[in-house]
Structure 1
Amino acid sequence: MAVLEELEPQEVFHYFEELSQIPRGTFNTKAVSDYCVKFANDRGLEVIQDELNNVIIKKPGTEGYEESEPVIVQGHLDMVCEKTEVSDHDFEKDPLDLYVEDGFVKARDTTLGADDGIAVAIALALLDSDTIPHPPLEAVFTVDEEVGMGGAGGIDLTPLKGKMLINLDSEDEGTIIAGCAGGLSFCMNLPVGRKQVTGDCLEVTIRGLKGGHSGMEIHHQRGNANKLAGRLLNRLNQNMDISLAEVQGGAKDNVIPSACTFTIVVHDSVKAEMIIENMENVWKQEFGEDEPELEVIVTKTENIEKSVMSDMDMKKVIFFINNCQNGVYGFSRSLKGLVETSDNLGVVTTEENKVSFVFLIRSSVSSKMEEMKEAFISWAEFLGGTYELSGAYPAWMYKENSKIRPIVAEVFEKVYGKTPNISTIHAGLECGLLSGKKPELDCVSFGPRMYDIHSVNERLDIASTWRMWNIIKEVLKECK
């Protein structure tokens, strides 16, 4: 029996569950792309699949809507792949293990992929229906959104006739998004020399942090495990002799890292463990109830020989992790309370001859993003490292004169009995790249309520999904 078959709207959750059976992590989207193509072919709909695996499906308008202006419905096929430390889930081949609890759809020990599987499910349900009134529909499914928005960056939009675009990649119900920040990925590679030392080896793991989306949750000041590792290493190095072998934390630049592990060699392991325990207690006091699962685990191996970084290179690594900018850099001057500029130290990896640091820089003001980029370039040059820039995408600027936004706002007001919140967000949405390719696009973004996306606690509100389904149906009805 399907886990979600009793949930409403049944047609949406049917497709969401089917999508959840298909592994679709970023850069692993061929299977889910082919699924969408088969869906279209089975229904005799026009479909375009490009070499990147982006898919466009077109459906004519229903009776009375044949000559209406087409509406574009858009979402992305890929999902963030995060799992608990105890999970043996293989994102390359295993389906998600869905379950329903307390009014939410969840996935056991993994991310849920409602970001953005629910958008694809809603679009497929619209395309499959013979009873929903709508203008000509153009469903656009992009790939690799979660890492650099490569699908939106490479898609050819010339086949699209529509100018009004509804993006379903938002998770704050009741809010209509009308703009978003731009961003870029910055990677610094710091070379390290090696030497052999003998002593007690301590593997220190900081874990249990909430993590989450590095744009949507950045203002919550959640713990960044990589930054905490830098702080602890700095405390250890200030108070005793240590040698650093490696530091590994985080998996993606757009996820606040919930765990980080570093390995050190010391001659006084008792003192080191006391410093670590004290730092753990300090953090628990500082974070309070915001990070209830935070813990530091130490595994000790006595009297071994190990390859470690040279003293000077170790100092550079610790200095950078401890002192680099991370988190909110500035708030908007025009939209009070909204984050304008931020960065996230999402990934730290150690290889034999280098340590790499990957940041995602975000800003709704291009000059501020340039300022932060230049600051990181200065860090790299000062410390003798190299750097790489990738995945840059533009901000989606708020459009004063919109045709689709008033329609959506009116429908929202009917449903909720109050004027909706119209805002911009500090996260990357594909509307920026898509409107850059097709400047006449008039975009809005909304979606059902989701919590803790990009983390193993991700969950989708069932009742909210039902409301969003009714809203988009009513919006399409009004686009006659």
Structure 2
Amino acid sequence: MAVLAGLQPENVFEFFEEISSIPRPSFHCEKISEYCVEFGKKKGLFVSQDEMGNVIIKKPGTKGYENAQPVILQGHLDMVAEKVGHSTHDFMEDGLDLYIEDGFIKAKDTTLGADNGIAVAMVLALLDGDSYKHPPIEAVFTVDEETGMGGAHALDFSQLSGKRLINLDSEEEGILTAGCSGGFRFQFDIPMEKETVSGSLVDISIHGLKGGHSGQEINLQRGNAHKMMGRFLSFLLRKTEFYLLSLEGGSKDNVISMISAVKILVAEGQEHVVEETVEYFRNVWEKEFGKDEPDLAVDLLIERKRCESVFTKESTKRGINFVEIIPNGVFEFSRSLKDLVETSSNLGFIHTGEKGISGACMVRSSIDSKMEQLKDVLYTSLELCQGNAELSGEYPGWKYKEESPLRNVMTAVYRKLFHKEPEVMAVHAGLECGLFLGKNPDLDCISCGPEMFDVHSVRERLSIASTKNTWEYLLAVLEELND
């Protein structure tokens, strides 16, 4: 029996549950892309699929709207694939295990993928229905949004005639997003040398952190496990010598790292220094984070009399220094929009190989010059530690437009429907609208969506009531766009 059966709007949640049964992590959208293609063909609609897996489906306007200007409705097919440590879920093969709790839809031990599955579900419900009033619809489903917007980069915009675009990738009801930051992915590696040493093997794990979206939640100052580990190891290195074996944690550059695990080798007789340092930082972080990170934990395991292949002292120091000094968190706040983060960087993941450590950061800014400044800081940090870097997935910001007929319509409809004013704002997160505007500067774009929380984390949840409100709002907006 369907978990979401009986929820309203019924057709939207039916599609959402069906989508949730299809594996669709970033870079692996083949199945969900084919699903959309088959859906469009069964409905007898125009369907186009490119080599990346982006899908465009077109539906004529309903009676009385045949000659109205088309509206582009857009969402992305991929999802951030995160799970709790003990989960056996396979994002390449398994559907999500949905459940309902306290008015929210959640997924057991994994991300929910409401970012941006609920947008796909809403658009499919519109394409499927026959009773809604709407202008011609050009539905655009992109791939790999969460990992550098590769789908949007590749999309052939010449297939679209619409000049009005509603992006459904926002996560706060009552907010119309009219601008966003640009960004890029900063991938690094630090070459390191090895030797064989005897001593006590120490495993240290920092875990239990909330994590979250590296754009929209970076201002909350949640703990980044890697930066905490860098601080810990740098402090410990001043207390006693040790050798690094491995440093691991995280899987996505746009997720605030919830876990960082390190293996080091210390001289026998120095184990107590590590134990004391762990206890010291447990107390320090408990005071610093207070109630903001209630499940934070630091685990320690020591195995004596081991002989291991380790990174040399000099390599160990360089690797730890980089994790300690690399910028992370809010870099600057906006000078024009109160409380909006302007520029930030997130150290998302770190992995260890035979030749050193590697990882990636996600950098965002609404001002190009500030993004370039942070780029220089990252390169300088890496140069000091003799590392290498590669930039990828760079995308432009979306500058707020003073004049927007679409925004005017959507504001008026919201006011009429809910008897209050929507909030119009820019966000410190990447939306594909910036790339689309680069392909067609005449576009009039707005982003909206239902209320969801803790996206990009295993606590991700979607409000059922807000989804209903957003669906009714979208229908009302489309009914108004008859010009």
TM-score (norm 2): 0.98
8 Å contact 1:26–1:146 — kept in the other structure? yes
Residue of structure 2 in register with 1:114 after alignment? 114
Distance 2:86 2:383 in 1: 40
Distance 2:197 2:419 in 1: 69
1:175 is matched by which residue type in structure 2?
I
- Helix, strand or coil: the match of 2:456? coil
Residue of structure 2 in register with 1:138 after alignment? 138
Distance 1:255 1:229 in 2: 17
8 Å contact 2:189–2:358 — kept in the other structure? yes
Residue of structure 2 in register with 1:234 after alignment? 234
Which ranges of structure 2 fall in alignment gaps of 5 or more residues?
A: none
8 Å contact 2:322–2:382 — kept in the other structure? no
1:373 is matched by which residue type in structure 2?
K
Displacement after TM superposition at 1:239 (Å)? 1.0
Q: Does 1:185 align with 2:198?
A: no
Distance 2:207 2:174 in 1: 34
Displacement after TM superposition at 1:410 (Å)? 1.0
Displacement after TM superposition at 1:271 (Å)? 2.4
8 Å contact 1:164–1:403 — kept in the other structure? no
Q: Does 1:209 align with 2:209?
A: yes
Distance 1:308 1:417 in 2: 65
Alignment of structure 1 residues 389-468 onto 2, 5 Å: 389-468=391-470
Displacement after TM superposition at 1:55 (Å)? 0.3
Q: Deviations over 1:377-415 (max 9, x none)?
A: 122222221111101000011111112111111111123
8 Å contact 1:394–1:433 — kept in the other structure? yes
8 Å contact 2:242–2:313 — kept in the other structure? no
Q: Which moved more, 1:99-108 or 1:262-271?
A: 262-271
2:464 is matched by which residue type in structure 1?
I
Q: Deviations over 1:232-290 (max 9, x none)?
A: 10121111122111111211110000001000111221221121122112111110110
Residue of structure 1 in register with 2:95 after alignment? 95
Superposition RMSD on alpha carbons, in Å? Answer: 0.8
Distance 1:233 1:303 in 2: 21
Which runs of structure 1 show a deviation greater than 3 angstroms over 4 or more consecutive aligned residues? Answer: none
Q: Deviations over 1:207-238 (max 9, x none)?
A: 00000000000000000000000011012111
1:389 is matched by which residue type in structure 2?
L
8 Å contact 2:325–2:381 — kept in the other structure? no
8 Å contact 2:253–2:346 — kept in the other structure? yes
Q: Which moved more, 1:228-237 or 1:212-221?
A: 228-237
Residue of structure 2 in register with 1:54 after alignment? 54
Residue of structure 1 in register with 2:261 after alignment? 261
Alignment of structure 1 residues 9-88 onto 2, 5 Å: 9-88=9-88
Distance 2:366 2:244 in 1: 38
Q: Deviations over 1:300-352 (max 9, x none)?
A: 22211111111111111111111221100001111111000000011111111
Distance 1:348 1:93 in 2: 25
Q: Which moved more, 1:424-433 or 1:291-300?
A: 291-300
Distance 1:287 1:43 in 2: 53
Distance 2:260 2:416 in 1: 47
Residue of structure 1 in register with 2:275 after alignment? 273
Displacement after TM superposition at 1:43 (Å)? 0.7
Q: How many residues align?
A: 480
Distance 1:197 1:9 in 2: 63
8 Å contact 2:191–2:355 — kept in the other structure? yes
8 Å contact 1:74–1:168 — kept in the other structure? yes
Displacement after TM superposition at 1:434 (Å)? 1.0
2:25 is matched by which residue type in structure 1?
G
Residue of structure 2 in register with 1:473 after alignment? 475
Displacement after TM superposition at 1:454 (Å)? 0.2
Distance 1:300 1:7 in 2: 51
- Helix, strand or coil: the match of 2:289? helix
Distance 1:67 1:77 in 2: 30
Q: Deviations over 1:334-371 (max 9, x none)?
A: 11110000000111111111211311110000000001
Displacement after TM superposition at 1:299 (Å)? 2.0
- Helix, strand or coil: the match of 2:83? coil
How high is the sequence identity, in percent, across the aligned residues? 52
Q: Which moved more, 1:241-250 or 1:222-231?
A: 241-250
Q: Which moved more, 1:385-394 or 1:407-416?
A: 407-416
2:9 is matched by which residue type in structure 1?
P
Distance 1:84 1:253 in 2: 17
1:173 is matched by which residue type in structure 2?
E
Distance 1:337 1:169 in 2: 21
